[in-house]
A and B are shown apart, each in its own frame.
Chain A
Amino acid sequence: MTVTLSVNGKTHRVEADPETPLLYVLRDDLQLNGAKYGCGIGQCGSCTVMVDGEAVLSCVTPLLLLEGRKVTTVEGLGTLENPGPMQRAFIEEQAAQCGYCIPGMMMRAQALLQADPAAGEAAVRAQLEPNLCRCGTHMRIVKAVMRAGELMRQNSRSGGAT
């Protein structure tokens, strides 16, 4: 069947079984390869995207729950030429090692900072807990998220986007 899906501000019409996990549609049909397939059972967080501003595990979220909802992936946070504050912060802190978990980390952190731009380190750590990183770059990831929060606060003071 055809499902209408809003991803990163664009409306897509996808031909897929309604039970298909969102992750498969993003990667296979829309060529949005930012969200990663890690465990496939919602235990690692590498597939995290945002739905209506909240962090969601796309590998265990079927398409049929997403009619009329707004999906944001890491591609929606900025472009190569003009990275968003979350992406800039991760680049500036060099927070990726192998990088596989990073899009999921960014999206879960983005959901927190959009809801609470002043979130402190304890809140960041608690928020990121469901997301695993096997390289052990957690300290840099936390630093990057704290920096992203700073960038967003600067932006909002100068009237820019978060």
Chain B
Amino acid sequence: MRPLRLLAVLALVLVLGGAAFLAYAWRSEIDPADPPAPASLDPALAARGSELAAIGNCNVCHTAPNGEPFAGGLGIPTPFGTIYSTNITPDPETGIGRWSEAAFIRSMREGVDREGRHLYPAFPYDHFTLVTDEDNRALYAFLMTRRAVAATPTANELSFPFNVRLLLAGWKALFFKEGAFRPDPGRPAEWNRGRYLAEGLSHCGACHTPRNRFGAEEATQHFSGAEVENWTAYAINAASPAPVPWDAESLAAYLRHGWHERHGVSRGPMAPVTANLGSVPEADARAIAAYVAEIMGQPNQERRARGEAALAATRRDIEAPLAARAGATGNGIGAAIYASACEGCHSGRRPPPFGGLNLHLSTAVNGPNPQNIINVVLFGLPAAKGEPSAMMPAYRSVLNEDQLVALLEHMRERFSDRPAWTDTRERVAATIRGERRITVYRMDGTTQAPPESSMRTTP
């Protein structure tokens, strides 16, 4: 009898615990509503929402390659499986047309959909929770005035237990702090604005902060850099590997125009971000830049000296006669490939964005790993559509593994004072073989392109 009784108690505890968790995890459905008539939404509010959507990069994830803007379907690779973005056009059946404003605001604040299901944090509600009701109303007005597109995204490819949405309540209990942004009255308005945007809607940390094994951002490593979609998002705190230290001014120019003379062009998953920021009020881009620059902090003596040295080395390259520089350093084949295939554009004689950056100034060459250069060398930088932009030809058809490794080793040795990378060959081999899948972004990175083109192409 006794073991049976123990079992009964255990079962009771389990049932009660399960019921308590259910009660805790349960979110109610918000009644479906008819899509609001576009005319009923304030055009000024929708226009403001358009800027906020650009600041939030909604289009980047909620548009599939060659797809309709905001119709979803982009596969987002995570360590737990692939999550497909949802359709956020006002289509009543497949989009969010039946979502009331309250349902939309709840999804942003709490990460719960209209039906009450917990959303995966691939939708960065850990940041969006900071967005004010007022801004959410503007975003809602913008999205509800888009063209409704009937499109059902591919179902998520998640294995058990990650496909059980209810368990996300546990994830939220551990890693999610709900609540709108509260400004710090002791700080200037611009700082508060920058913090609100950068930590909230812009969700900079979603890429630039490393994640723990549960996929949550490591709070103690804020902005210290991470790898996302096989692109390296650099540290944007005091550990920034940029040879010339960033400041609020250079960062604002870069975020708005997608390039800076002393830092090069924005590319990879950052390309759509700067493309979007080019369309928002300048004050907002400046506020983000000022906030991030403050987190980076004033460069110390050593960093300033390194920046000066990089600029001096660049000047020497520009002034040196071409013939004297070709093959001037060792590492045989790497130096020869650099001199013949790269230096023509990357000498620094023709300034960015239309000339290549002198690599003494390159964050990539000074970065923690060679992945971004591998991606750019193999797949190039496809030009923007219908407007002048930076571009770079792809070398995947001619460079083999040995040649690319030699080239990267030469670049690191010649253009950086940091130690050699240790994983160059492994990364090159995996990228060439396609085991590391690289998403190639156009220089404009927008979804404004005609439907037959690809904002994102996966080779």
**Contact code string B398-409 (vs A, CB < 8 Å = 1, else 0):** 110001000000
Taking the complex as formed, is A61 at the interface, i.e. its CB lies under 8 A from any CB of chain B? yes
Interface stretch, picked from A62-70, A86-94, A96-104, A143-151, is: A62-70
Of B341, B345, B397, B454, most A-chain CB atoms within 10 Å: B397
- Which residues in A have their C-beta under 8 angstroms from that of B313? none
- Which residues in A have their C-beta under 8 angstroms from that of B341? 60-62, 65
- In-complex Cβ contact of B340 among A52, A56, A62, A130 (8 A): A62
- Which residues in A have their C-beta under 8 angstroms from that of B403? 65
Q: Which residue of chain B has the shortest Cβ distance to A69 in the bound complex?
A: B398
Taking the complex as formed, is B318 at the interface, i.e. its CB lies under 8 A from any CB of chain A? no
CB distance from A123 to the nearest CB of B (A): 10
Q: Which of A24-46 contact B (CB under 8 A)?
A: 40-43
- Which residues in B have their C-beta under 8 angstroms from that of A130? 382-383, 393
Taking the complex as formed, is A119 at the interface, i.e. its CB lies under 8 A from any CB of chain B? no
Taking the complex as formed, is B422 at the interface, i.e. its CB lies under 8 A from any CB of chain A? no
- Which residues in B have their C-beta under 8 angstroms from that of A129? 382, 453
- In-complex Cβ contact of A60 among B327, B383, B393 (8 A): B393
Taking the complex as formed, is B339 at the interface, i.e. its CB lies under 8 A from any CB of chain A? yes
Q: How many Å lie between the Cα of A60 and that of B345 in the bound state?
A: 10
Taking the complex as formed, is B41 at the interface, i.e. its CB lies under 8 A from any CB of chain A? no
- In-complex Cβ contact of A62 among B337, B392, B393, B396 (8 A): B337
**Contact code string A48-83 (vs B, CB < 8 Å = 1, else 0):** 000110111100111011100100000000000000
Q: How many Å lie between the Cα of A64 and that of B337 in the bound state?
A: 8
Q: How many Å lie between the Cα of A126 and that of B65 in the bound state?
A: 13
Asked if A43 and B340 sit within 8 Å, CB to CB, the answer is no
Taking the complex as formed, is B336 at the interface, i.e. its CB lies under 8 A from any CB of chain A? yes
Q: Which of B298-352 contact A (CB under 8 A)?
A: 326-327, 333, 336-337, 339-341, 344-345
Q: How many Å lie between the Cα of A10 and that of B331 in the bound state?
A: 32
Q: How many Å lie between the Cα of A19 and that of B397 in the bound state?
A: 18
Q: How many Å lie between the Cα of A21 and that of B454 in the bound state?
A: 31
Taking the complex as formed, is A117 at the interface, i.e. its CB lies under 8 A from any CB of chain B? no
Q: Which residue of chain B has the shortest Cβ distance to A121 in the bound complex?
A: B452
Asked if B336 and A19 sit within 8 Å, CB to CB, the answer is yes
Asked if B398 and A19 sit within 8 Å, CB to CB, the answer is no
Taking the complex as formed, is A153 at the interface, i.e. its CB lies under 8 A from any CB of chain B? no
Asked if B340 and A64 sit within 8 Å, CB to CB, the answer is yes
Given A41-B345, A62-B341, A125-B452, A56:B397 Cβ within 8 A: yes
- In-complex Cβ contact of A19 among B339, B392, B454 (8 A): B339
- In-complex Cβ contact of B397 among A43, A54, A62, A126 (8 A): A54
Q: How many Å lie between the Cα of A41 and that of B350 in the bound state?
A: 12
Chain B contact residues: helix, strand, loop or mixed? loop
Taking the complex as formed, is A139 at the interface, i.e. its CB lies under 8 A from any CB of chain B? no
Given A41-B345, A52-B397, A57-B393, A64:B336 Cβ within 8 A: yes
Q: How many Å lie between the Cα of A54 and that of B397 in the bound state?
A: 6
Taking the complex as formed, is B391 at the interface, i.e. its CB lies under 8 A from any CB of chain A? yes
Given A51-B398, A126-B453, A18:B340 Cβ within 8 A: yes
Asked if B398 and A61 sit within 8 Å, CB to CB, the answer is yes
Asked if B344 and A41 sit within 8 Å, CB to CB, the answer is yes
Asked if A51 and B397 sit within 8 Å, CB to CB, the answer is yes
Asked if A19 and B340 sit within 8 Å, CB to CB, the answer is yes
Asked if B345 and A64 sit within 8 Å, CB to CB, the answer is no
- Which residues in B have their C-beta under 8 angstroms from that of A65? 337, 341, 398-399, 403
Q: Which of A106-122 contact B (CB under 8 A)?
A: 122
CB distance from A36 to the nearest CB of B (A): 16
Q: How many Å lie between the Cα of A66 and that of B403 in the bound state?
A: 11
CB distance from A117 to the nearest CB of B (A): 19
- Which residues in B have their C-beta under 8 angstroms from that of A52? 397
Q: Which residue of chain A has the shortest Cβ distance to B453 in the bound complex?
A: A126
CB distance from A138 to the nearest CB of B (A): 13
Given A19-B326, A61-B341, A42:B393 Cβ within 8 A: yes
Q: How many Å lie between the Cα of A56 and that of B339 in the bound state?
A: 18
Q: Which of B344-365 contact A (CB under 8 A)?
A: 344-345
Q: How many Å lie between the Cα of A122 and that of B451 in the bound state?
A: 10
- Which residues in B have their C-beta under 8 angstroms from that of A20? 340
CB distance from A157 to the nearest CB of B (A): 29
CB distance from B289 to the nearest CB of A (A): 31
Of A20, A52, A60, A130, most B-chain CB atoms within 10 Å: A60
Name 20 interchain pairs, CB-CB below 8 A, sorted by A: A18-B340, A19-B336, A19-B339, A40-B344, A43-B383, A43-B391, A43-B393, A51-B397, A51-B398, A54-B396, A57-B393, A60-B393, A61-B398, A64-B340, A65-B337, A65-B341, A65-B398, A125-B452, A126-B457, A130-B383
Given contact pairs A60-B341, A61-B341, A66-B398, enumerate 13 new A-B contacts (beta carbons under 8 Å): A20-B340, A21-B340, A54-B397, A62-B337, A62-B340, A64-B333, A64-B337, A64-B340, A65-B337, A65-B341, A65-B403, A69-B398, A130-B393
Residues of chain A touching chain B, judged by Cβ–Cβ distance below 8 Å, are 18-21, 40-43, 51-52, 54-57, 60-62, 64-66, 69, 122, 125-126, 129-130
Which 3 pairs between the two chains have the least Cβ-Cβ distance? A42-B393, A62-B340, A19-B340
